[in-house]
Structure 1
Amino acid sequence: MPIEILMPALSPTMEEGTLAKWLVKEGDTVSSGDLLAEIETDKATMEFEAVDEGVIGKIMVEEGSEGVKVNTVIAVLLEEGESADDIGSAKAAPKDAAPKETASADTSDAQSPASDKTEAAAAPPAPKDGDGKRIFASPLARRIAADKGVDLAGVFGSGPHGRIVKADVEGLAASDSPKAEASKSTAEAPKAAMASGLSASAVAKMYEGRDYEEVKLDGMRKTIAARLTEAKQTVPHFYLRRDIQLDELLSFRGTLNKQLEARGIKLSVNDFIIKACAIALQQVPDANAVWAGDRILKLTPSDVAVAVAIEGGLFTPVLQDAHHKSLSALSAEMKDLAARARDRKLAPHEYQGGSFAISNLGMFGIDNFDAVINPPHGAILAVGAGVKKPVVGKDGELAVATVMSVTLSVDHRVIDGALGAELLNAIKDNLENPMSMLA
């Protein structure tokens, strides 16, 4: 029987992707491990390998196709002795189709009595949400919802890929639906409208008669927009600011770079900032934490993410166990991650995770700024440029020093004010006493 090749989930959160390029064509013979295609996720382009051997009988999704749902049939592989006639009437699932179901996909419906299954056969058609997108629900769940008058648009699906199953609607009543809630409180409607913003057509109408270029959003831009909107709407940010004197660090860095020159190593100020933050998370372990919905996860290692600007967006590759690594090791790893980030060659595990992030715009001449927290991180450090400024020394004398302004954006659900201040003070002490970071 022909083998269906499905759109793979190349990361835990991937729901759809772009089939960027086929590396095979119909009629090609492939073996397990052969490269079949290049798949673009929201942030990376990854190669997809064959797991079976056979002949590519039919390509169902053309290269360049965007928004291809995970588990959509993208090609059909013929085994020995099979021909194109065996493919039959197989068709690629439409882009808004639900993921292919397996025998274990919906156990609650599979275990339903025969009479329930008969009723499910006459279930209402798949409903759509306010944007006209299909709501994925099993036939039995649709039938139960219709009988109870429940609006599926507001029901959370516990099945595969968010599919609504029988258990999700059994305990609901019509009053639980968003429509009923809206009638209870009309004040909620304006809030929802404000959260979603103006529609594309409404904005375009405002600029009728004006010249403009429409820039289509790629997967990365859509993800950035969604995550930053989520962060600013749901994360209670507060901000802590400090000035850090860098003269001792710059002198120490110069000495180290001279000693490391023969090994081809050149440390940047950013390498010291990464190390200082990693050590500070160990010094203030309660701040080494992330928000997990209904709880806080306190991490043991210092896994520090660093924002890297690329064309059209940014990555935040994560340096794991940064507190254990030497400055030279951190420098080499950061250079490698940044280079592969700009080529969009990072694997998902290299930019997911971490509890803390660093965003450094000092090299662009920015004195100070406030960074947006990257959920589920507990905090992010915004780093400005080192600038010569007059300072008052410990002896009361006026002097000139290189001063770097930093702002710590903190998730108040994870880190309270005093704890955030303790973390920022630890970062400052580490940077102003760089020798201590080698102890």
Structure 2
Amino acid sequence: EAPADGALLEVLYEDGAEVPVLASVAFIGEAGESVVPTGEQAPPEKDKVATGPDEKIITASAATAAPKQSETEPAATHDQRIRISPRAKRFAEKKNVDYSLVSGSGPNGRIVCSDIQKALSGQSRVTAAETAVNQLTEVSDLTTVTDIAPVSTAAAVTIPAEEFTEQPLSNVRKLIAKAMHSSLRDSAQLTHHMSADVRNVLEARRKIKEGLKNGTERHDITINDIVSWCVIKAIARHPAVNAHFLGDSIRLFNRVHLGIAVDTPRGLMVPAVKNADLMDLPGLSQALKASAEACRKGNINPELIQSTSASFTISNLGNYGVEMFTPVINLPQCAILGVCTIINRPADLGNNIFGFVPYMGLSLTYDHRAVDGGPATLFLREIKEQIEKFTY
């Protein structure tokens, strides 16, 4: 939504493009008014067709070793320059696409990223492997394919376009992929599993639901809210897990900034509830629901979903029926708790009487660089005990 009325002077991003959070997308003003530079960098795809140092311009006639191209190829002919944006060139090289054989859809026929993506999706299938085959057919004295530099298997295999759909990653998915990969690569993660008797929690939840029906209860406190409340109490007894590992130091937090994993249509988000240890249970419940709703609507404060905003994270997959999993730490945090589904298991009820008891699975992943196995186990047991003795 534009903050003011006016004529559209310049659009910085194409339709469907991924736009960084809080970035300007266009300029508005009086009709005929010139756009005054604001210091914001225009997106790479909007760069003018220039001959600057980043612009890749190739003249076919100047390359004496360049192979002949068939008449059916959409490649540049002799003395025709290949115009490609720096970003598209890097993308093409990364994906092993011969961009000299791709038709550009940008200004003056310039090749942009969307053209490379179309080539990858099969709409304009020209890869480095095909270029190698063309070179082979044009050189008569070659007797074996081994005389040509080897091409990677992924590039050499051609899959019919109707067999798949290739979609570019969204910005959110790119961030998730980068964070998860770096977390597993750069830390020493280990997961402990334990189960907690949740009879008291289920009884509290039953009372809350009845109170909501008859009007005696104002807050819809969920099982996830109760578990989060118990985790905060356990952190107070084991503050070493409420920390960030910074390589040569550990930052211990005085307050609990609780991160909650939220599944949204755009991907996984982990907003932080600041100073959660200062809240009572109803207040914590409201804060958790507000953060999750803001993530789903897309209006969460970007600072609150940074991995450095939370000091400890909870990921609850109980609603999906997951019995056990190994959550991945949101670095630089030192630990994350995975909450699993509730399963009835046989247990000793006392006086030599056995029955089925509802148990909730708890999976604690911790960074062994910052926390040893003993303290981590004691912390997980404290969470179990806080859940089992919970009263409402």
Q: Quickly name the TM-score band, shorter chain normalised.
A: 0.5 to 0.7
Measured in 1, the distance between the counterparts of 2:330 and 2:239 equals 19
2:243 is the alignment partner of 1:292: no
Match of 1:233 in 2: 185
Cα distance, 1:202 vs. partner? 2.5
Change beyond 3 A, Cα 1:350–1:35: farther
Query: Would the aligned equivalents of 2:242 and 2:311 in 1 still touch at CA under 8 Å?
Result: yes
Instruction: Report the TM-score when normalising by structure 1.
Output: 0.58
Superposed displacement of residue 210, structure 1: 6.4
**Separation in structure 1 between the aligned mates of residue 244 and residue 35 of structure 2, nearest angstrom:** 52
- Please give the secondary structure, in 2, of the residue aligned with 1:66: coil
Alignment of 1:298-313 (within 5 A): 298-313=252-267
Q: Does the 8 A contact of 1:60 with 1:92 survive in 2?
A: no
**Matching residue of 2:386:** 430
Whether 2:202 is the aligned partner of 1:253: answer no
Query: Over aligned residues, Cα RMSD in angstroms?
Result: 3.8
1:262-281 alignment to 2 at 5 Å?
Answer: 262=215, 263-281=217-235
Q: What residue number does 1:47 align with?
A: none
Which structure has the greater CA radius of gyration? 2
Aligned-pair CA distance for 1:383: 1.2
| Equivalent position SS for 2:226 | helix
For the pair 1:132 / 2:83, whether they are aligned, the reply is: no
Residues in 2 aligned to 1:354 and 1:283: alpha-carbon distance in whole angstroms: 18
Query: Please, what TM-score do these two structures have when normalized by structure 2?
Result: 0.64
Closer/same/farther in 2, CA of residues 204 and 58 from structure 1, 3 Å limit: farther
| Alignment length (residue pairs) | 294
Is this contact kept in 1: 2:340–2:361, CA < 8 A?
A: yes
Q: Distance in 2 between matches of 1:326 and 1:205?
A: 60
Superposed displacement of residue 416, structure 1: 1.3
- Describe the SS at the equivalent of 1:84: coil
Aligned to 2:268: 314
CA contact (8 A) 1:278 1:303 kept: no
Amino acid paired to 1:218: S
Q: 1:203 to 1:299 in 2, by over 3 A?
A: farther
Distance in structure 1 (CA, Å) of the matches to 2:169 and 2:43: 21
Q: For the residues of structure 2 that align with 1:97 and 1:394, how far apart are their CA atoms?
A: 74
How big is each residue's C-alpha offset from its partner over 1:233-291, in whole Å with a ceiling of 9 and x where there is no partner?
11211011101110122123323444465243222110111111111111111221112
Name the residue aligned to 1:371. Answer: 327
Ranges in structure 2 where 5+ consecutive residues have no aligned partner: 48-52, 57-85, 92-150
**How do 1:71-110 residues align onto structure 2 when only pairs under 5 Å count?**
84=33, 93-95=42-44
CA shift, 1:420, in A, is: 0.8
Determine the C-alpha separation between the residues in 2 that align with 1:247 and 1:231: 35
Task: Give the counterpart of 1:331 among 285, 300, 316.
Answer: 285
Match of 1:361 among 306, 312, 317: 317
Find the aligned partners of 2:12 and 2:304 in 1 and give their Cα distance. 29
Structure 2 vs 1, CA of residues 209 and 84 (structure 1 numbering), >3 Å: closer, same or farther?
Answer: closer
Alignment gaps of 5+ in structure 1:
1-22, 25-33, 37-54, 99-123, 134-198
Indicate whether 1:215 and 2:159 are aligned: no
Instruction: Report the Cα distance in structure 1 between the residues aligned to 2:340 and 2:178, rounded to whole angstroms.
Output: 26
Cα contact 1:308–1:315 (8 A) shared by 2: yes
Higher mean alpha-carbon deviation, 401-410 vs 250-259, is at 250-259
1:396–1:312 CA distance, 2 compared to 1 (3 A): farther
Q: Report the Cα offset of residue 392 of structure 1.
A: 2.9
How far is 1:356 from its partner? Answer: 1.2
Partner of 2:12: 61
* Distance in 1, Cα, partners of 2:22 & 2:293: 31
Q: Which amino acid aligns with 1:215?
A: Q
1:350 aligns with 2:308: no
Distance 1:62 1:323, change over 3 A: closer
- Say if 1:271 and 1:330, in contact at 8 Å, map to a contact too: yes
Task: Find the aligned partners of 2:330 and 2:22 in 1 and give their Cα distance.
Answer: 29
SS of the aligned residue for 1:305 comes to strand
For the residue of structure 2 that corresponds to 1:213, the secondary structure is: coil
Supply the AA of the counterpart residue of 1:66. Answer: A
Task: Name 1:194's counterpart in structure 2.
Answer: none
On the 8 A contact 2:198/2:360 being kept in 1, the answer is yes
Q: Percent identity?
A: 24
Q: Which structure's residues are more often strand, by fraction? A: 1
- 1:404 matched to 2:369? The reply is no
Q: 2:348–2:354: 8 Å Cα contact kept in structure 1?
A: yes
